[in-house]
Structure 1
C-alpha cells in the first residue's frame, strides 16, 4: 500500500510565522523534512508542520488526534517552559527535547502570542551577540 503524501502547512500559516521569525537578527527560513523551519546559526527556533496519520508525530502520539493538524514547535525555558508544558490545549510537550514545546495553530490562534513565543525561542537559541541586538 503506497504511503499517504505529506501535507504541507498552508502558505498563510507559514507567512504569519515567517513575519515574526525573519524579523529577528540573522534568522533564516528553510524547508525541513516536513514543513518549514526557522533557524539562527544551525539551531531551529521554530518549525511549522502538519501532524498527520501515517507519519511519526509527537502531537498525534500524545493526543490520538487522527485528522491532519498544523502545529508549531519552538523552544522555551524556565517558568515559561513549565507553564506551557502544563497549560493543556493548544499546547503540548513533545518528548524529544526537554526545551521543546508544541502548539496547535488553528482558527483560534492568538498570532501576537505566537510572535512572542517565537521571539523567546529565538532568544533561547541565538548567541549572546544576537540576543543583545533585540534589546536595542
Structure 2
C-alpha cells in the first residue's frame, strides 16, 4: 500500500526548500514515504518528517531532515531546535522545523553539507 501524500505542493516553505535543493548538480525530487525527497544517487534532504518521543509520534510537516557535517553534528545535537528523526536518526540525520523566523542561509548551509556527504564525488567536485 502506498503512503498517503503528506504535503501541500503549493506550500511556500516547500517551494523555498525546493529552490535550494534543486540548485545542486543533478539534484532531483521524488516522493518517498509520502514526503518530498531530494536526491542524486542518495537522498540528501527530506521535507517533513516525524520523531518518536516516549512512544508518541510527533509530526514535523514543515521541516527539513538532513545529514549534517560530522564536525558540526555534536553541536547541533545540543541545540533544542534540532530533533532526531524516526528511522533516520541512527544514521546521523537531524531534523529542523521551518517557520517565519527561519534563517534561510543556515538552511542552505545544512542542505549543502548533506549534499556533500551523499552525492557522488564527481558532483561534489562541481561545487565551488
Q: Specify the TM-score bucket, using the shorter chain as the normaliser.
A: 0.7 to 0.9
Structure 1 unpaired stretches of 5+ = 52-56
Partner of 1:46: 45
State the Cα distance separating 1:11 from its structure 2 match: 2.1
Kindly report which structure 2 residues correspond to 1:106-117, keeping only aligned pairs within 5 A, or say none.
106-117=99-110
State how far apart, in whole Å, the 2-side matches of 1:23 and 1:92 are. 26
Partners of 1:20 and 1:88 in 2: how far apart? 24
- The reply to whether residue 87 of structure 1 matches residue 59 of structure 2 is no
Aligned in 2, Cα 1:104/1:133: closer, same or farther, shift over 3 Å?
same
Considering only CA atoms, is the larger Rg found in Structure 1 or Structure 2?
A: 1
User: CA–CA distance in 2 between the matches of 1:85 and 1:107?
Assistant: 22
1:84 touches 1:92 (CA, 8 Å); kept in 2? no
Structure (1 or 2) with the greater strand fraction: 2
Question: Quick one: structure 1 residues 113 and 67, their matched pair in 2 at CA, closer, same or farther if it must change by over 3 Å?
Answer: same
Aligned counterpart in structure 2 of residue 73 of structure 1, from 59, 65, 72: 65
Q: Determine if the alignment matches structure 1 residue 100 to structure 2 residue 93.
A: yes
Distance in structure 2 (CA, Å) of the matches to 1:30 and 1:68 = 19
Task: Report if aligned partners of 2:7, 2:61 keep a CA contact under 8 Å in 1.
Answer: no
Quote how far apart the aligned CAs of 1:40 are: 1.0
Equivalent in the alignment of 1:18: 18
User: More helix per residue: 1 or 2?
Assistant: 1
Task: Specify every segment of 5 or more residues in structure 2 that has no aligned partner in the other structure, as ranges.
Answer: none
- Which residue of structure 2 aligns with residue 118 of structure 1? 111
